[in-house]
Structure 1
Amino acid sequence: MTELHLWLRHETRRTERRTPIVPADAARLTGSGITVTVEESPQRVFPVEEYAAAGCRVAAPDSWASAPPGTVILGLKELPDRPHALTHQHIYFGHAYKGQPGAADLLRRFTAGGGTLLDLEYLVDDDGRRLAAFGFWAGYLGAALAVLQHRGRLTAPLTPTAKEELDETLRPAAGDPDVTALVIGALGRSGRGARVALRTAGVDPTCWDLAETRALDRPALLGHDLLVNAVLATTPVPPFLRERDLDDPARRLRTVCDVTCDVGSPLNVLPVYDRVTDWAESVRRLRKEPELDLIAIDNLPSLLPKESSTDFSAALTPQLLDFWTGGAWGRCRDRFRAALAGGDVEERES
């Protein structure tokens, strides 16, 4: 069996402070005989010295393209635009299989170099359940930011924090108005996180999942103050919010947090905005009268980088220890090959 060499790359997005592998789990990997190289990164929440102490090699930022053949490149968010041809196996969230903006270009890069995308979104068990996910913390932070915005306590730019500090600002204060909140996708990881955050904020949310969205009660949806969408659609479904809903004179809804951020995808269940928000501009006003604010940040868990990284790493590490024989990685490879064979590269060029 080929020896596994993992290369943890620096994240080029300046607001990305998470890591898929924390130093304690890196020690488990090196202790099992896996070679781990870690790029220096000024923003990663864990300093590179902790990885070196765990037995990892240290490399310069963005040097992964020159890694030896057979090295598996590990990251979280988008790759830089160069090199054009991707020759390695890459593990990260590629967002390339549902027609998202830039998806066709990314797949062409893998085709050009003969590399492989092992998309973490498709690292699933035999029943299709995700094996490693940031969902809980995405939902937690999405709901927390929505409540703080609704109560007038959300300040920008956003900065990373710890859960104890966030909870302190989230707890209800004297004079806070009552809030009615709806969580859609309430039974999933993100929905569970949203429910926990809302209850920390003193809010008892309405919880919808598949049963409640088969025949959507749109007036009930618009009758809440706050909406948290935690649904990641895999097949087309009627949208939860439409442009005409935003202009409904009976709309009570004032704050929407789209945890999923599937903007640009034909499967987007909230097709009422065309670009995400970010740490600098965390809220966008979709309507002035009556007001409606949107939060759609696609790396929410990075605001709690230690907590979210530790949980994700604990789930991913056993899969990496089983890299060559684990069926989950085989399913990732099959999904990548299916994307290429199905015309994902060509059909979205227009």
Structure 2
Amino acid sequence: MTKVHIWLRAETKPLEERIALTPSVAEQLLQAGFKITVEESTLSAIPAQAYKEIGCDIKPAHSWQSAPSDTIILGLKELSEASWPLTHRHIHFAHVYKEQQGWQEVLRRFKSGDGTLYDLEYLVDDKQRRVAAFGYWAGFAGAAVALKAFGRRQQVDGPVLPKLTSMPSKQALVDDVTSAISQLSQAPKVLVIGAKGRSGRGAVEMAKCVGADVTEWDIAETQIGGPFEDILDFDVLVNCVFVQQALPPFITLPMLNVNDIDPRRLAIICDVSCDPYGTYNPLPIYSSCTTFDEPCLRIVDGENPVDLIAIDHLPSLLPVESSEDFCQQLLPHLLQLDDLTQGVWQRANHIFADKLGQV
């Protein structure tokens, strides 16, 4: 029996160098009998030639729209904004199920084209645990850029953080952050919220790698509900909480602006969870994400400012390592794409159908 056809589309999100299918995983799928088409991409950290050498078909970027209707379109980030109907089966992070801005318009495209979305964020096992995630790398990169920003703010005039570019390796990123904080008189005090999750573990590891003084909070420390005045006593906050329901805020803008009686220490916030457009955001102190081009947003001015980092594709800082890790996690389930009525694919389809019914 002929296996399904997987079409790896080129990403459209600026500076998104990660990829949803690495050559090592693609090769295993080819050996299992799948047909794989890969679009050329000027963004991807892995060139199309690497896929051609293992036997994948190569097509121009963004040509998936003309693929046969039974093709499965695989990507990472959401599709570019448009209004034409979506007719294929799509696998990617759509960012619509928490009723984010524009969610209904996206789902209407699937509804009008009779297409299907298998959202990567909602591929879960029978215990509702995600089967593949970039979480560790998001936390690792988030703590890295937060600490680099803190170090630079103490020593450098000008932007808190310059334009970010991807790093060749995990060790190169550690070395870069170590250099940025090496002249500080004392180790930065870092608070990681959600420290026991994937993102939290990555953030804690990065902070410890560069010698920061790390405090770890998780459910036990936050279950009473915020706001939490203690957060103001840290230099850096890294929020890694995976939010699935509305929570009381961890901090608020009025808290950050009160600075005359007991001076606030908190200077840098990195919201790794990064969901300013939904109603579940436990850091309701900003309304839009930051970017690799402009990583920091000043949310409190004055002599004791607060800078925020809220980049929704932090693992792109380490695109090759994070992509390889993610794809290896996803591989067992990609091998089951012949039968979308079972396992993670069936559960993802049920969620899609439920959300589609709300449009």
What TM-score comes out, normalization by structure 2 length?
0.92
Match in the other structure for 1:204: 213
Alignment of 1:158 onto 2:185: no
Measured in 1, the distance between the counterparts of 2:132 and 2:162 equals: 30
1:1-350 matches, within 5 Å, as 3-82=3-82, 84-152=84-152, 155-161=161-167, 162-171=169-178, 172-215=181-224, 216=226, 218-249=228-259, 250=262, 251-289=264-302, 290-325=304-339, 326-341=342-357, 343=358, 345=359
Paired residue secondary structure (2:152): coil
The 1:292/1:267 distance shift into structure 2, 3 A limit, reads same
Measured in 2, the distance between the counterparts of 1:176 and 1:41 equals: 45
Q: Could you give the per-residue CA deviations for residues 63-88 of structure 1, whole angstroms, max 9, x where no partner exists?
A: 01110011000001121234610000
Q: Is the 8 A contact 1:158 1:280 kept in 2?
A: yes
The letter for the 1-side match of 2:210 is A
Measured in 1, the distance between the counterparts of 2:85 and 2:116 equals: 11
1:217, CA displacement in angstroms?
Answer: 6.7
1:174, CA displacement in angstroms?
Answer: 4.0
131-140 vs 316-325, which deviates more? 316-325
The 1:175/1:221 distance shift into structure 2, 3 A limit, reads closer
Q: Percent identity?
A: 45
Measured in 1, the distance between the counterparts of 2:249 and 2:2 equals: 47
Paired residue secondary structure (1:318): helix
The letter for the 1-side match of 2:46 is F
Measured in 1, the distance between the counterparts of 2:213 and 2:352 equals: 41
Q: Is the 8 A contact 1:24 1:54 kept in 2?
A: no
C-alpha RMSD of matched pairs (Å)? 1.4
Q: Is the 8 A contact 2:27 2:54 kept in 1?
A: yes
How many residue pairs are counted as aligned between the two chains?
343
Paired residue secondary structure (1:284): strand
54-63 vs 211-220, which deviates more? 211-220
Measured in 2, the distance between the counterparts of 1:217 and 1:175 equals: 29
The letter for the 2-side match of 1:212 is E
Q: Could you give the per-residue CA deviations for residues 288-324 of structure 1, whole angstroms, max 9, x where no partner exists?
A: 1321000001111111111101101111111100123
1:284, CA displacement in angstroms?
Answer: 0.8
5+ unaligned residues in a row in structure 2: which ranges?
A: 154-159
Measured in 2, the distance between the counterparts of 1:8 and 1:217 equals: 43
Q: Is the 8 A contact 1:140 1:194 kept in 2?
A: yes
The letter for the 2-side match of 1:264 is Y
5+ unaligned residues in a row in structure 1: which ranges?
A: 346-350
The letter for the 2-side match of 1:167 is V
